[in-house]
Structure formats: structure tokens, C-alpha cells
Amino acid sequence: MVQRIALLGATGSIGASALEVIARHPDRFKVAALTAHQQDERLHDLIRRYQPAYAAIDTERSGRLRMALAGQELPTRLLDGPQALEEIVRSDDIDVVITGIVGAVGLGPTLAAVSAGKRVLIANKEPLVMLGSLLMAAAQTAGATVLSIDSEHNAVFQCLPESTQQRIAGAEMTDNTLAAANVTAVTLTASGGPFLRMPAEELARVSPAQAAAHPNWQMGQKISVDSASLMNKGLELIEACVLFGLPSCQVNILIHPQSIVHSLVEFSDGSVLAQMANPDMRIPIANALAYPERIASGAPALQLQAVGALEFEEPDPVRFPCLRLAKDVARAGGTAPAILNAANEIAVAAFSARQLLFPGIAELVERVLQRLPVESVISLDQVVAVDQMARNLAKELISSVGGGDQKAGAGKY
């Protein structure tokens, strides 16, 4: 049966990769919904090409898109407004939802898709980081399938036994699930970003353009800056704890500049399994779309002889203070990850607008974490409120944060 796919964030880098994979397999997949935030011209082109049943865009752009679509006799129903995405993912016309929306705006649609029992492929970090066990509990109750298409988490997933994969996909994880599979630890790799070899004292002088120049991956501005600060890897650590039911002490981070080994899984007998591939998002997307089968992704096969050496090293905690903050937050749990994520979004936006120096990202995030209380997560509304509170505080503190003076030691959270 052809799977009908809703692609949230169709005009971004994840959307582009997903559409490439989908287009290769018209016998298996059909684009049933496309959404975007502001790129109405790009969305218009995609609607004309794929002719989905649904499309959605931010209300401010919907009028112009409606005019562009007028008279074209397309089968597409254009939605806008705050509930548009949730209406789409709940539709009986949708089987699979791919979420590639950056920011807390993706929380509601992702939770709605999970609660509707859909097969949900999560590319954006916010749902797992901010909602955590709330999202997984909803998936288990509704019988949804939840698969991460972050390359690192997909890599861990591929290295696990089939029975364990089935429990993870069904959100049936417990604290003993990986232990029962004799897994003792997982390691997520990080390229180290563009500043891996830069002297730490020079980081206060780097520009947003330099931070966005990732050596291996083609990504958006925000995710590229997160990769440069290693906050991206810190958020992935929190995600791994949620997805795989692991304590943070069993999730390790290793710098691997070549981005060939995406993750490693350690077993009790001393064996370590690694998933290797070229750095290409089409690979985890294809794997998750077809799971438990495999399909062609369009990515070139890995040629190890061309790669040569594979290097690994421990991350420098002085150079990458965001990683320490994320580890502390993973241990704290509750609403701490939501606070971390919100403060980081504001900090990255301020850095990108040249209102904050690069080292100030970690400093601002830590100040917000120190000032806000941590609570148990009980509802989406609560998490959204905490997110807004953290954003407001971060905005207030921007002017008081310096660019190069990093604080050492754990915060009060």
C-alpha cells in the first residue's frame, strides 16, 4: 500500500532530502501534505509538482500563496492559522508524518501526530527534548511509531537487535530495555564543527557566517551554529536518553571530524557496533521511511579507501561549554531541557544578529538555567509556558552577557 506522507517543513534542508527519497519510490510513497513557515514561492513550486491534498503556511504568507494558486485547478486545500498543522497530521488521509520544523512551534503538531497513532519521523529536536516522556507515553497509548531521523539516533537504532528496535519504535522503552539487550553504553559522534582547531581565545571574534560553515553537513543557520557550539550534540544526548531509555551517564559524546561513524553501541561482551555512512541525511530518512525494510536513498555508498584515516577524540569542555550544560540538564530532567532549548534559541538568534559574541551563547543559556525553577513535565501547555518564560528571560539578559568570559562549574539546576 502506498504510504501518504505529510512533510512539515518542506522547504528546509530536511524537507529537500525527504522529497528526494520519496521521489525515488512513487510505488511506495505519495506526498499528501506540504507545509512551510514563510517560503511561499518555494512551497508554491512544490505544490505544483507534488499536488498534495493539503498544504499550510504561516497566516502572513497565506494570502499571497492563495493568489498564486488561484485558477490552477490543483487538488490542494490550503490551510493557515495556529491549528493548521495539527489538523493536517490528524487527517485520515495521512499515514506518515515527517517533522522538520525548527523551534517550539513543532511541539503541538508532533504531539498531535503521535496521539493520532501515526508513523512519525522526527528530525527536529524540540519534541523529544522538551516533551520527553510525555511524548513517548502518548505514542505508546495511541500505538504510534516514533523514529528519529537524526543521523546519530538512527545510527544507534540500526545497531540494535530487531526485538529492541521494535520496542523503541513502539515507544515501549523501559529502564531495562537496552540492558536486556546487553547494551552498556551508546556513543554519539560529533564533527567538532568549524572551530574544532581554533584557539579558544579567538572564539569571541568569530562571525555568524563562520559558525554556519559546517565542514561536512549542509544545514540551516540555527542548526549550523548549534553544531559549532556543540549544543546540537548536547540536545542529541538528551534525545538519546528519551528515545532509548538510558541515563545520561550511558550516553557518550566523541569528536569524529570525518562524520563517517555516526554512532557506536557498546555491548556487555566488549563488542562495539558502529554505523558508518557518508554524511547524507537521505540515508537516515530512507531507513526510517522503509523500516523494517531498506530502500535506495540516492546517497553514494561509503568508500573507506577514499576516506583513509578515521580520527576520534574527547570533546574539550572549555571549548564546548554548551555540552556540559546539556549533560547537567539531562541529569536534572523535567522542564530543564525545555529551558535549555528556549534559551539557546534566543542566544543563537542574538549571535546571528551580532547582538552577542559566540562564547556568550553558553553564558546566556547558563544564566537562564540558573534563574528558572525545574518542574516535572505534565502537559504541553505547561512546556509551552516554560518555553516562553525562558525566552523572555533570555531576551532580558542579552545586554548583560559578555562574549568571552565563560563561567565554569555546574549551575543551580
Domain residue spans in the chain? 3-149, 319-413
Instruction: State the pLDDT at residue 224.
Output: 87
Q: CA 345, CA 351: separation in Å to the nearest integer? A: 10
Beta-bridge mates of residue 29: 3
The two domains 3-149 and 319-413 share their CATH topology (first three levels equal) = no
The tens digit of pLDDT for each residue in 311-321 reads 999 999 989 99
**CATH code at 3-149:** 3.40.50.720
Q: What is the number of other CB atoms lying within 10 angstroms of the CB of residue 220?
A: 15
49-53, 209-213, 362-366: least confident range: 209-213
The tens digit of pLDDT for each residue in 224-277 reads 899 999 999 999 999 999 999 999 999 999 999 999 999 999 999 999 999 999
**In this structure, what C-alpha cell is assigned to residue 39?**
517560503
Domain 319-413 belongs to what topology?
Rna Polymerase Sigma Factor; Chain: A (1.10.1740)
Instruction: State the pLDDT at residue 82.
Output: 82
CB 37 within 8 A of CB 109: no
Q: CA 19, CA 396: separation in Å to the nearest integer? A: 40
CB 150 within 8 A of CB 190: no
Q: Is residue 409 pLDDT above 80, yes or no? A: no
Question: Cα torsion at 406, 410, 412, 413 (round to 10°)?
Answer: 110
Cα–Cα distances in Å, from 175 out to 122, 179, 183, 243, 245?
Answer: 22, 8, 12, 11, 5
Q: Is residue 60 pLDDT above 90, yes or no? A: no
DSSP 310-373: ---B---TTT-HHHHHHHHHHHH-TTHHHHHHHHHHHHHHHHHTTSS-TTHHHHHHHHHHHHS-
Per-residue pLDDT band for 105 (boundaries 50, 70, 90) equals confident
Higher pLDDT, 353 or 214: 353
DSSP E strand stretches across 199-325 = 251-255, 261-267, 272-276
The tens digit of pLDDT for each residue in 387-406 reads 999 999 999 999 999 643 33
57-61, 218-222, 237-241, 324-328: least confident range: 218-222
Residue 87, helix vs strand vs coil: helix
Q: Is residue 183 pLDDT above 90, yes or no? A: yes
What letter represents residue 255's amino acid? I
Cα–Cα distances in Å, from 134 out to 90, 171, 284?
Answer: 18, 11, 24
Higher pLDDT, 219 or 19: 19
Per-residue pLDDT band for 221 (boundaries 50, 70, 90) equals confident
CB 341 within 8 A of CB 380: no
